Amino acid sequence: MARYQLILAYDGTHFFGFQRQGLKRTVQLELETALRSLGWEGRAVLSAGRTDTGVHAVGQVVAFDLDWKHTEDDLLRAVNARLPADVAVRRVKIVDNHFHPRFDALSRRYRYQIYCSAVRDPLRDRYAWRIWPPVEVDILEAAASRLLGQHDFKAFGSPTKPGGSTVRLVMQANWVEKDDGLFFYITANAFLYRMVRRITFAQVLVAQGIVPLEKFDEAICQSQFFYPGLAEPQGLVLEEVSYSLTSKDEEI
């Protein structure tokens, strides 16, 4: 018996999020169904985090214990052969028996994509949030810079457990223009529930001139109320989860 770590990619369009929810179609349900056909007898796989309905991933991390007599590459091929087309295992490796994808994580990185257009683009709308009126990119960048450092982000999310802390450390927050779109990258030690989507929505309001930048500052630095709202789920991608380096567990 060994503990295996999988790196998963999935298109969240037709999933009710990652976490198992009865018989609803979730990434966890599809993965566990595939693993059971290979002899896995666990109760539930461990994951780095939960993604919401419609949210995508290229770097979700999952771990489970399995008595597997073949190679890691054989396991990758066997699981992928049993998964639907909108989920894929990118990598497999054996890790320490005590490894936990969530509790051992040092940081997580998300990407959010928007584009500015007065008319819909059905192909782009699957993976991006269409914004109109357009945003001022320099204001987006100014807003993102305010996020860096340790702050109480309770204005932008709720703790993952009752009574949990809402303080988080943001190590990266910036916007990049490419391919006729805008990409927001954010890395933190952890995130509150729906924190990235709320922060993205807030930055867009500021960059459209609807809300002054000072209100965004107050929400971050003084934990003051900010206008409610969520960026749409399809623009969000869990890109990477990072861990400390050990002999058996490399950074992802």
Active-site residues: which are they? 52
Helix (H, G, I), strand (E, B) or coil at 117: coil
Residue with token string 């461990």: 46
Compute and round to an integer the Cα radius of gyration of the chain: 19
User: Cα 19–106–50 angle (5° rounding)?
Assistant: 10
Angle, in degrees to the nearest 10, between helices 213-221 and 137-146 = 20
Q: Which residues contact 212 (CB under 8 A, 6 or more apart)?
A: 206
* Two structure tokens written together for 167: 């303080």
Residue in the structure block whose two tokens are 């037709």: 14
Give dist(CA 247, CA 4) in Å, integer. Answer: 15
